[in-house]
Amino acid sequence: MANSRAFRAIRYAPGTDFSLVAGPPYDVISTELRAELEGRHPANIIHLTLGPRLPEETDDRYRDSGERFRSWLAEGVLVREDQPSVFLYRFDPPDRPPSAAIICALELERLGEGDVLPHERTMPVPKADRLALMRTTQANLEPLWFVASRPLGIVSKAVDAVAGIQPEADVTGMENVRHRLWRLPKELMHITEDAIGDAKLVIADGHHRYETAIAYRDERTAAEGPGPWDFTLAMIQDPIDFGPILRPIHRVVSGYPVERVIEKSRASRFSGTLQDLPTRVASVGSGTIGVASGNGLWTIATDADLDTLWLAEMLEGSDAKVSYEHDLGQLENAISREEVVFVLAPIAIEKVTEMAISGERMPPKTTLFWPKPLSGLVMRDLANRGGDLG
Output the DSSP codes for 269-309: E--S-TTTHHHHHHHH-TTEEEEEETTEEEEEE---S-HHH
Q: Count of CB atoms within 10 A of residue 304's CB?
A: 15
* Residue from 144, 151, 155 nearest 116 by CA: 144
Prediction pTM value: 0.89
Per-residue pLDDT of the chain (390 residues; tens, 9 = 90+): 799 999 999 999 999 999 999 999 998 888 899 999 999 999 999 999 999 876 665 568 899 999 999 999 999 999 999 999 999 999 999 989 999 999 999 999 998 788 999 988 888 889 999 999 999 999 999 999 999 999 999 999 999 999 999 999 999 998 999 999 999 999 999 899 999 998 999 999 999 999 999 999 999 999 999 999 999 999 999 999 999 999 989 999 999 999 998 988 889 999 999 999 999 999 988 899 999 999 999 999 988 889 999 999 999 989 999 999 988 889 999 999 999 999 999 988 888 888 888 888 888 888 889 999 999 999 999 997 767 887
Which residues touch 92 (CB under 8 Å, ≥6 apart)?
Answer: 98, 177, 178, 180
Residues 202, 238: contact at Cβ < 8 Å? no
Cα–Cα distance between 167 and 165 in angstroms, integer?
Answer: 6
